[in-house]
C-alpha cells in the first residue's frame, strides 16, 4: 500500500508541455528522499484541462497542481509528499486570491459528469490491472454469462444512448438492425478517425482509457454476433495507437480477447487500422472502403452497413465515445443512463471547449445543461472579460449560435432545431473580435478542401460558396450574393451524397440567419464590424496623439508609412497589408483601425 499517489497526466497536451521531464524529475526526487515505498507515481490519461498542463494530482487529498515543470515537481515532492505542505504557488487559481485545493472543487470539474471519461486521468492506461480494479471487464463478464444478446440490446435501447460520432442515431436500434442481418460473419468497427479540427475527445479516451473501448466493442460484438473488429484510428494519433496495441495485447493475455472468452462460446479479435487522416474517412462508408484498401469515398446508402458493410458483410460501426459508454450502461443499467439528459438525448456528452473562453479543454456534461453553463461556468466566461458574441457548435459543419441561444439546453433536438448540430462535440467560443463571415469562411475552407470530390454539389458548390464569401470579405460583395449564397447552400445541403456535403453549408446558413447584419455591413457599408477582414479596414494615425517618434515607420513591413520629425506621419492604405504592427508598436496609441 502506498500512502500517496501522484497522478501525472500523460495526455498529448501535457506530454508536449513537458510531462515526461517532470515525471523523471519527480521520480528521481522520490528515490532521493527514499519515498519509493510510500508514494506511487502513475502516468494517466487526459484530465481535460490541457491548457493548464502538465497537470499533477496528488491523492488522497486530490490536490490539483498546474503547469508543473521539473523544478516545480521537485518542490512538490519535497514540500507536499515529504512534509505534507501543499505548494500553494502551483495550485489552480480560480481568481487572483483564492487557490483551489482539491480537484472536486474546481468549477471546471464540479459541473461535469464523467462517464465516458470516467477513468481518464485516474488510472494508468497502460495497466489492465488498474482498469480491472475500477470494475473493468465486469460488464463484459455480465453480458457473456448472464445476459442474452437480446437483453444486451434491450439495455442499450433503454439507455437511450445515441451515436456520439455526429449522426446521433440510437445505438441500441442500430445494434438490433445488425443483429437481425443474416449471415455467419459480421464485423464491428470503432470509428476513431476524429477528423474535426481541434477535436480531441476521442483521442483522450483512446489514450486515457483504451480498455473501456475494447470492452464496449466486445459487448457490442457479442450482442450482434460478430467475432472480428477493427479500430480505425488516424495515424496522427501515435500515442493512442500505442496504447491501444498495449491494451489489446494485455486483454489477449488475460483471455478477455481471443477464443472462448470467459469460457463461453464467444470469440472476438480486434485489429487496428491506421488511417491517413482524411476528414471524409470518418464517414462510415468511406471508412470501410479505406479499410478495404480503396480510396476513402462515401457511397450511397442504402445498403446500410448493418446490411452490407465491411467486405459486404453486416457491420456495426460506432464512435469511440459511444463504445466507451457501453460498459457503464451495462454495469449501472439503461435506466440509470436514461435518468440523465433530456427527452430525446440521454446521458452525457464530451465537448472540446476552445476559443475565447478562460478555461479551454475537454468537458463531459449531462445532456440538457445549457450553453451558458458550459461557457460561463465551466469555461469560466470569456477571455479577458470581453463580450460573448457567438458559439460554433458541432465541428466544421456545425452552426453558429448567438447570445440569444445561450440558454438552449444542449441536446440533439434543440441544436438541430436552431440549425446547428451536436456533431462530435466541438465548441468554439467567439467574442466581439471575431468576424462571423470570416468564421464561416474558415470552416467552409476546411470542408471544401476535405470534400472527397465525388458528388458535384459538394465538390463544386462548396468551392463557389467559398469564393463568394471571400469576395465579401474583400469588400467586393454584391447584395444579390446573399440570396445566391442561400440558394446554393440549401441546394448543397439537400443534394449532397454524404454528411460532409449535407452539413458543410451549416456555418454559412446559420451566420446568414443570425448575423445577417454583418453580411450587410460588409456588402453595403464595406465595413467589417469586428475589424478582421483586411480588405475592409483602414489604419489611421491621429495627428493630435502622434508624437512623431517614427517607431511605426521603422516597424512597418510594407514600408507604407511616411513622415518625419517635421511632417505628420501618414499611412498609405493602398499599400498597407493590414498587419497591425504599427498599432502594437505605437507607444502613444495614436493609430486606430476602422
Ligand X SMILES: Cc1cc2nc3c(=O)[nH]c(=O)nc-3n(C[C@H](O)[C@H](O)[C@H](O)COP(=O)(O)O)c2cc1C
For another protein, the binding residues (CB under 8 A) are 278, 280, 295, 297, 299-300, 302, 448-457, 459-464, 467, 484, 487-488, 491, 494-497
State yes or no: residue 459 binds ligand SF4 (CB under 6 A): yes
Which value, in Å, is the radius of gyration of the alpha carbons in the chain?
Answer: 27
Give yes or no for a contact between 123 and 43, defined as CB atoms under 8 angstroms apart.
no
Which of ligand X, ligand SF4, another protein, none does residue 193 bind to, with CB < 5 to 8 Å depending on kind?
A: ligand X
Which of ligand SF4, another protein, ligand X, none does residue 165 bind to, with CB < 5 to 8 Å depending on kind?
A: ligand X
Residue 587, Cβ density class (10 Å: 0-12 exposed, 13-18 middle, ≥19 buried): exposed
CB of 499 to ligand SF4, least distance (A): 7
Phi (first) and psi of residue 370, to 5 degrees: -90, 160
Size of the site for ligand SF4 (CB under 6 A): 14
CB of 492 to another protein, least distance (A): 9
State yes or no: residue 454 binds ligand SF4 (CB under 6 A): yes
Give the three cell numbers for residue 388.
460573448
**Collapsed DSSP state (helix, strand, coil) of residue 258:** strand
Q: What Å distances lie between residue 244 and 10, 12, 190, 209, CA to CA?
A: 15, 15, 12, 9
State yes or no: residue 458 binds ligand SF4 (CB under 6 A): yes
Select 360 or 496, whichever has its Cβ closest to another protein.
496
State yes or no: residue 466 binds ligand SF4 (CB under 6 A): no
Give the sign of the dihedral formed by CA 396, CA 402, CA 403, CA 404.
negative
Candidate residues 159, 322, 451, 510; the one interacting with ligand SF4 per rule CB under 6 A: 451
CB of 204 to ligand X, least distance (A): 14
State yes or no: residue 280 binds ligand SF4 (CB under 6 A): yes
Select 195 or 361, whichever has its Cβ closest to ligand X.
195
Select 280 or 393, whichever has its Cβ closest to ligand SF4.
280
Phi (first) and psi of residue 64, to 5 degrees: -110, 105
CB of 454 to ligand SF4, least distance (A): 4
Give yes or no for a contact between 72 and 86, defined as CB atoms under 8 angstroms apart.
no
The residues with which 17 forms a beta bridge, in sequence order, are none
CB of 451 to ligand SF4, least distance (A): 4
Give the three cell numbers for residue 559.
514600408
Which of ligand X, ligand SF4, another protein, none does residue 23 bind to, with CB < 5 to 8 Å depending on kind?
A: none
Among candidate residues 234, 424, 220, the one with its CA nearest the CA of residue 321: 424
State yes or no: residue 287 binds ligand SF4 (CB under 6 A): no
- State which H helix or E strand residue 575 sits in: none
Select 410 or 500, whichever has its Cβ closest to ligand SF4.
500
Select 133 or 300, whichever has its Cβ closest to ligand X.
300
**Collapsed DSSP state (helix, strand, coil) of residue 584:** helix
Select 125 or 305, whichever has its Cβ closest to ligand SF4.
305
Read out DSSP for 85-122? ---GGGB-BSSSS-B--BGGG-HHHHT---STTTTTTT
Window of 138-146, 432-440, 492-500, 581-589 that interacts with ligand SF4 by CB under 6 A = 492-500
Candidate residues 106, 224, 391, 500; the one interacting with ligand SF4 per rule CB under 6 A: 500
What is the CA angle 194-199-283, rounded to 5?
A: 30
304 DSSP 8-state letter: P
Which of ligand SF4, ligand X, another protein, none does residue 484 bind to, with CB < 5 to 8 Å depending on kind?
A: another protein
Select 278 or 357, whichever has its Cβ closest to ligand X.
278
* Angle in degrees, 0-180, between the axes of helices 171-180 and 210-224, rounded to the nearest 10: 40
CB of 332 to ligand X, least distance (A): 19
**How far is residue 60's CA from residue 1's CA, in Å, rounded to a whole number?**
13
CB of 465 to ligand SF4, least distance (A): 13
Select 133 or 453, whichever has its Cβ closest to another protein.
453
Which of ligand SF4, another protein, ligand X, none does residue 495 bind to, with CB < 5 to 8 Å depending on kind?
A: another protein
Which of ligand X, another protein, ligand SF4, none does residue 463 bind to, with CB < 5 to 8 Å depending on kind?
A: another protein
Describe the chain by its helix, strand, coil percentages, rounded to 5.
45, 15, 40
**228-234 and 269-275 as β-strands: parallel, antiparallel, unpaired?**
parallel
Q: Which residue is nearest to ligand SF4 (CB)?
A: 501
Which residue reads 440569444 in cell numbers? 404
**Cis peptide bond prior to 54, omega within 30° of 0:** yes
CB of 468 to another protein, least distance (A): 8
Binding site for ligand SF4 (CB under 6 A): 280, 298, 451-455, 458-459, 496-498, 500-501
Amino acid at each position: 500500500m502506498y500512502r500517496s499517489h501522484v497522478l501525472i497526466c500523460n495526455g498529448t497536451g501535457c506530454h508536449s508541455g513537458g510531462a515526461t521531464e517532470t515525471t523523471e524529475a519527480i521520480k528521481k526526487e522520490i528515490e532521493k528522499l527514499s519515498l519509493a515505498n510510500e508514494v506511487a507515481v502513475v502516468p494517466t490519461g487526459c484530465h481535460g484541462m490541457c491548457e493548464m498542463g502538465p497537470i499533477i494530482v496528488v491523492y488522497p487529498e486530490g490536490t490539483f497542481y498546474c503547469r508543473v515543470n521539473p523544478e516545480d515537481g521537485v518542490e512538490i515532492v519535497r514540500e507536499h509528499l515529504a512534509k505534507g505542505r501543499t505548494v500553494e504557488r502551483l495550485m489552480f487559481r480560480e481568481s487572483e486570491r483564492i487557490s483551489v485545493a482539491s480537484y472536486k472543487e474546481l468549477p471546471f470539474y464540479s459541473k461535469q459528469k464523467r462517464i465516458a471519461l470516467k477513468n481518464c486521468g485516474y488510472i494508468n492506461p497502460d495497466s489492465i490491472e488498474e482498469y480491472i480494479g475500477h470494475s473493468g471487464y465486469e460488464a463484459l463478464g455480465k453480458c457473456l454469462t448472464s445476459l442474452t444478446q437480446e437483453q444486451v440490446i434491450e439495455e442499450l435501447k433503454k439507455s437511450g444512448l445515441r451515436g456520439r460520432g455526429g449522426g446521433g442515431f440510437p445505438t441500441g436500434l442500430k445494434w438490433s438492425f445488425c443483429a437481425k442481418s443474416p449471415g455467419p460473419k459480421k464485423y464491428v468497427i470503432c470509428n476513431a478517425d476524429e477528423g474535426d479540427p481541434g477535436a480531441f475527445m476521442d483521442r483522450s479516451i483512446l489514450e486515457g482509457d483504451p480498455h473501456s473501448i475494447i470492452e464496449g466493442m466486445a459487448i457490442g460484438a457479442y450482442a450482434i454476433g460478430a467475432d472480428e473488429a477493427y479500430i480505425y484510428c488516424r495515424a496522427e494519433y501515435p500515442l493512442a495507437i500505442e496504447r491501444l496495441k498495449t491494451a489489446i495485447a494485455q486483454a489477449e493475455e488475460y483471455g478477455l480477447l481471443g477464443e472462448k472468452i470467459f469460457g463461453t462460446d464467444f470469440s472476438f479479435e480486434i485489429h487496428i487500422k491506421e488511417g491517413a487522416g482524411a476528414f471524409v474517412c470518418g464517414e462510415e462508408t468511406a471508412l470501410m472502403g479505406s479499410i478495404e484498401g480503396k480510396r476513402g469515398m462515401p457511397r450511397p446508402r442504402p445498403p446500410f452497413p448493418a446490411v452490407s458493410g465491411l467486405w459486404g458483410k453486416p457491420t456495426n460501426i460506432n464512435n469511440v465515445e459511444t463504445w466507451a459508454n457501453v460498459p457503464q450502461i451495462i454495469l449501472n443499467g439503461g435506466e440509470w443512463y436514461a435518468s440523465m439528459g433530456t427527452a430525446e438525448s440521454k446521458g452525457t456528452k464530451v465537448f472540446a471547449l476552445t476559443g475565447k473562453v478562460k478555461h479551454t479543454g475537454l468537458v463531459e456534461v449531462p445532456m440538457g445543461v445549457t450553453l451558458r453553463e458550459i461557457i460561463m461556468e465551466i469555461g469560466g466566461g470569456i477571455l479577458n472579460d470581453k463580450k460573448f458574441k457567438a458559439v460554433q457548435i458541432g465541428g466544421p459543419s456545425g452552426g453558429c449560435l448567438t447570445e440569444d441561444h445561450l440558454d438552449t439546453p444542449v441536446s440533439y433536438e434543440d441544436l438541430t432545431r436552431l440549425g446547428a448540430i451536436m456533431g462530435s462535440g466541438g465548441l468554439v467560443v467567439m467574442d466581439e473580435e471575431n468576424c462571423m463571415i470570416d468564421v464561416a469562411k474558415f470552416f467552409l475552407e476546411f470542408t471544401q478542401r476535405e470534400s472527397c470530390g465525388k458528388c458535384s454539389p459538394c465538390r463544386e458548390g462548396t468551392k463557389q460558396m467559398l469564393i463568394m464569401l471571400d469576395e465579401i470579405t474583400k469588400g467586393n460583395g454584391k447584395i444579390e450574393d446573399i440570396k445566391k449564397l442561400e440558394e446554393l447552400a440549401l441546394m448543397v445541403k439537400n443534394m449532397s451524397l454524404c454528411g460532409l456535403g449535407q452539413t458543410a453549408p451549416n456555418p454559412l446558413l446559420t451566420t446568414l440567419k443570425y448575423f445577417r447584419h454583418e453580411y450587410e455591413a460588409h456588402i453595403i457599408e464595406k465595413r467589417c464590424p469586428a475589424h478582421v477582414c483586411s480588405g475592409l479596414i483602414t489604419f489611421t494615425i491621429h495627428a493630435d496623439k502622434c508624437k512623431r517618434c517614427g517607431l511605426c515607420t521603422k516597424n512597418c513591413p510594407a514600408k507604407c508609412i511616411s513622415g518625419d520629425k517635421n511632417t505628420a506621419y501618414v499611412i498609405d492604405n493602398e499599400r498597407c497589408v493590414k498587419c497591425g504592427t504599427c498599432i502594437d508598436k505605437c507607444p502613444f496609441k495614436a493609430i486606430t483601425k476602422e
